[in-house]
Amino acid sequence: MTCGTCNWWRRNKPGKPVRSHSCVQNHTGSARLMESVSGQIGVQELNSGGTHVEILEGDGDNTLISRLKTNLNLEMKKRFDKNHVVKNIGKHLRTLFMTKRLRTHQHSFSREKSQSRKRLSVLFPCKTRHGMSCAVDTAWEKRGFDTHTFFMSRAKYGKKVVKSVVCHRTCGTCYWWRRNKPGKPVRSHRCVQNHTGSARLMESVNGHIGVQELNSGGTPVEILEGDGDNTLISRLKTNLNLEMKKRFDKNHVVKNIGKHLRTLQSKKGLKLSVNAITHISKCVSYAFSKHQGDKVGLEDNLKAINPHNFGDHTLCQDRFCGYKRKPGEKYLHRSLSYKGPLKCDKLRERLATIMAPIIARSHQYSDLGSSQQCEHANRELPKVFPMENQKL
């Protein structure tokens, strides 16, 4: 319908002749007329090439049929398209639904009533509406000084990206100009720097911005699923006066337990292999997965993990312990070294100190969230926008 080169030349260099180029503009009428013109050209070229068209399947528009009859003297048959017919019926139903008041057994709706509800909702907010639960996670780029924070819905709502916030500590153009041309003013550019504090502060700042924008957009957030950091919770309470609920992320909890076990491995006099660390972390992860919503069952299961790995099955249950299910057979710890239990008493005491705070917080771990969808989004972002394409 138009040529980009001609359009740019007329807009940026008015009065000057357009430079020589291959102009693609081949239609001067209205956009509505283009469909019938294109159809006439196609039918004419097919007929001249020996491929005669007799029936046209489409949306039922008579403009092309009348144009072919007038210009080419062709009597075309018309066949309606099923998808267009169903869409037209849907359009008529939607217009009927929006213009007239429809009363059914469940509800009655009208445009005037919806507008009055919007006006009244500002004065009388709904007391039964609650905020949504969002998984929040921040990722730092390996190269550069920027972060991406994603707010994502839960799995039952489709794991969709609700909000994304990008924070930059520095600008590449400003940094290059100060380093290579000190004392000279930086050339005009699109500066992306929007954070001046420390890198540790960026996560809570991004979360604060995201929650504030979601609340102002009419989508309040009530529960934050993450790594359990209280910095964002306290910032929201101080700046926005919002009392946020916190839900721990299962992946972060299991990773933190693995970190404590690996620090215990470096201690002298303690024999803790990599297989034992993996096995204990796996036992805790299984306990979290099996007892979601069951505080008492989770606490009993966590209390039995440490004695079970040392051969004491007094606290074990038949559900997860093979020694209790088959007491007459010799029980083997398949995931531990030499398929036998751990035997160091000092190690048992240190493991008990690690498991004690986890058991004490079993009521919080009985309702765990997941930020796996945020981790996936953070991994996919560099693939879509690699660093070599992010030139400022």
pLDDT of the residue at 245: 85
Output phi, psi for 13, to 5 deg. -130, 70
- Residue 56: CB atoms within 10 A of its CB come to 16
- CA distances 384 to 372, 387, 389, Å, are 19, 10, 10
Q: Give DSSP secondary structure letters for 29-92.
A: S-STTHHHHHHHHHHHHHHHTT----EEEES--SHHHHHHHHHT----EEEE-HHHHHHHHHHH
Q: What is the pLDDT along the chain (392 residues), one digit of tens a residue?
A: 678 888 888 888 888 888 888 887 777 777 777 888 888 888 888 888 888 888 888 777 778 888 888 888 888 888 888 888 888 888 888 777 665 444 443 344 444 545 665 565 566 555 545 678 888 888 776 555 567 777 777 666 677 788 888 888 888 899 899 899 998 999 999 988 888 887 778 888 888 888 888 888 878 888 888 887 788 888 888 998 888 888 888 888 999 999 999 998 888 878 888 999 999 999 999 999 889 888 999 999 999 999 999 999 999 988 888 888 888 888 888 888 888 899 888 999 999 999 999 999 988 898 888 877 787 777 777 676 655 444 43
What span, in angstroms and rounded, lies between the C-alpha atoms of 270 and 277? 13
Assigned token pair, 299: 């606490």
Whether the pTM exceeds 0.75: the reply is no
Fold entry, domain 132-248: Nucleotidyltransferase; domain 5 (3.30.420)
What span, in angstroms and rounded, lies between the C-alpha atoms of 356 and 350? 10
Q: H helices within 227-371, ranges in order?
A: 231-239, 250-265, 274-290, 295-309, 322-325, 345-360, 362-365
Q: DSSP letter for 249, please.
A: B
Closest CA to 237 of 258, 198, 211, 256: 211
> pLDDT tens digit string along 151-202?
777 666 677 788 888 888 888 899 899 899 998 999 999 988 888 887 778 8
pLDDT of the residue at 98: 63
Output phi, psi for 48, to 5 deg. -70, -25
pLDDT of the residue at 117: 57
pLDDT of the residue at 121: 59
- CA distances 182 to 21, 82, 186, 190, Å, are 44, 68, 9, 19
pLDDT of the residue at 114: 55
pLDDT of the residue at 282: 92
Which residue do the tokens 């299910």 mark? 325
Assigned token pair, 382: 């560099």
What does the domain layout of the chain look like in residue ranges?
1-25, 31-77, 84-123, 132-248, 251-365
pLDDT of the residue at 167: 84
Closest CA to 304 of 369, 252, 379, 358: 358
pLDDT of the residue at 125: 59
- CA distances 368 to 255, 318, 365, Å, are 14, 25, 6
pLDDT of the residue at 155: 63
Cα 125 → chain centroid: 29
Closest CA to 254 of 158, 344, 354: 354
pLDDT of the residue at 105: 37
Closest CA to 271 of 343, 340, 332: 343
Q: DSSP letter for 188, please.
A: P
Q: Contact, 364 vs 220, CB < 8 A? A: no
